[in-house]
Chains A and B, each alone.
Chain A
Amino acid sequence: MRKYISLFLWSLLFPFSMDGQNWNLINSEQTSYEREEKSFYAETKQVNQFIRRFNAEENVLGIRLSSNDSLYHSSQLRKNYINMLFDNQNTSISDMLKSAFINDVTQDANPKFLDFHGGEWFGETFVKFDRGSQEVFITLFMELVKENLGSKWVVGDIYYNPYEDLYGRDAGSGSRFLHPLSHELDFMNLDRVFKSGNHTGDYFYQGFHPDKLSIFMYELRNNTLQFNYVSGVKFHFFQIDGWYFEITEFNRPGLNRGWLISNLIKLEDGQKQKLINFIYHRD
């Protein structure tokens, strides 16, 4: 059984090493169990496996390669693996871009690897909350940080549209203020401040910016928001110099499944921070 899978996966990796006859033989002997098992072997089952495949740190059966194995970090194996790590139903990533990326990360002189603890990657989760009778989705940005001897994921930032519009300066901001003699009237003009809606922030200290995590926490604390479930997760990688890619989990039939590259961008100078800000919805 394992032999078949191994053969099959090797044939995936090295499509020209097996002639058509053998191929048909294997196909015709497949039971549904074997077919399913094959797709589970092919699936990139964990983000951890994505990283190990990207780096060629495991064999086709998912068994870790020892660092003195000739296949460990082998650029040929990496080329084959990384080619499989793309969502092949995504036509927005051109073949040219894909091969430029693969060639860049596998070049013998300067290979580029992924490192779980290397930073410059983060998660984006879409979480469903109940807000009264309303169902809302809030994006939580998850960051891996070191603590003591180990590490942990923390909520680094959030994105929730209503929190975004709490305050913004506009053309009229300059004319909204409490005049310097308001104190003589016991600040009776605060009335105007609290009727100003979106502009209330104009009356706060200079440089004020609403802290979204604090508002989020407050709403959780007073049960305005109630956690429902995580409806989706993706990860953004900026670890490879000059590149950005995003990975998403695909739960679908076939062999191209699991954690796959769903977006790839070649970064020009200065683009990296802009893109990070864009993902975080930061201005």
Chain B
Amino acid sequence: MIDSSYDVIVIGGGVVGCAAARELSRYDLNIALLEKSTDICAGQSRANTAIIHGGYDAKPGTRKAYYNLKGNMMFDSVCGELDVPHEWNTSLVVSFSPDEDSQIDELYQRGIQNGVPNLEIIDHDEIMRREPNISEQAHKALLVNNGGIVCPYELTTAYAENAAKNGVTFFRSSPVIAIRKENEGWVVDTPEKSYHCKAIVNCAGLYSDEIHNMVSEDKLEIKPRRGQYYLVDKKYAKAFNAAIFQVPTVMGKGILVARTVDGTVLLGPTAEDINDKTDKRTTAAGLANALEGARKTWPNLPGRAFITEFSGLRAHCTRNDFIIGEVTDAPLFFDAAGVESPGLTSAPAIGVDLAKMVAEALHASPNTKFDPIRKGIPKFRELSNEKRAELVSENPDFAKVICRCETVTEAEIREAIRRPVGAVNVDGIKIRTRAGMGRCQAGFCTPRVLEILSEELGVPLETLQKSEAGSRYVYGKIFD
């Protein structure tokens, strides 16, 4: 039995899926997005290094190289339309011994081949002038002037909100368990419902192989590659200006020291090939590697600076490139598979291309009512006192600071729940407002955030989850 029918179903609510959904909503199409987790932005998009990569790293001629540069060039317009914080703070790829210098030259040449503008090679003195806290061993560096940073959660939720505004229907907690060809289209099964559609866009990240393999004989394999990180208190936001890379290895771009748009500093990631796509543990060995790597860049890294540790899984495809486009033996099934780093940077461009491919195949006309603009939730912490006073007079909930460390107000938290594709759990509040992301790591604000969620969603507090089903906080009232 079919519960509902769409022109297009996007599978996966990470940054690529949400970008694709939003770009598809520029066309006169009936679109749904299915997300396996309780919330969008649950996989790679939630745990990554938050870099807008310049595009020097990928092998020339690959889709990674193509989408990286194309995506990079879209960030000003996309972040402008969607009100997403980003910053062009440049990247530096640094050699820490003369032995590594040749790799800097190779990256420079590769960047030129990829069409990356304004690359420069700088020497020790210039590195030290730009980055006084970097190791004295810094020898030579590739200065990537088009390198930047972006808030990955806000980019993802902003794409989703704008997609929803333009008519895309989101179904969360809806893992796809089967796909069948039926009646001139596809039937997509989730445990509770079945959906019919004309075209499918596979943006399932780590699981994009499994989704692809449901319809194609040309099998894909995604190997999860785990990266562990430390997060440093924003007290050290000014330690480095650029995102600092070390020379890359076969496993990836190495350990970075990279400030986020919110002022915290990420150290990592490690790169470990693992077998379990749900194994997001941090390990003593992994954290030690991340720290040792970061100290190579930042020898005076303070020992008590950390506020948390986490790991993310990269969707590494054994074919070593992004798989983008219509699948040869499955017409009207489109892949965005194996999108690992630089996936965040590439997402805007992948979204546009996928939408074009699908629209052409379905002969869709433009959506004349498409509105590209999304306004973010006001960030009380970043506003002037005049603007703050204005907000408080309009809505007194702006006067109630719930998260002390990040100065997040009750108004922001309530809005994060009320928005389209809004927060349904504690981590959802966190990625949309930063409540709980600061130095106390949610010690003070958790009880109040639970109360607000309970009120807004109209559910008992004891049913609320941290993120996935089974991650509840409390076991009911002590006394009835």
Partners in one complex: no
| Residues in chain A within 8 A of chain B (CB atoms) | none
| Residues in chain B within 8 A of chain A (CB atoms) | none
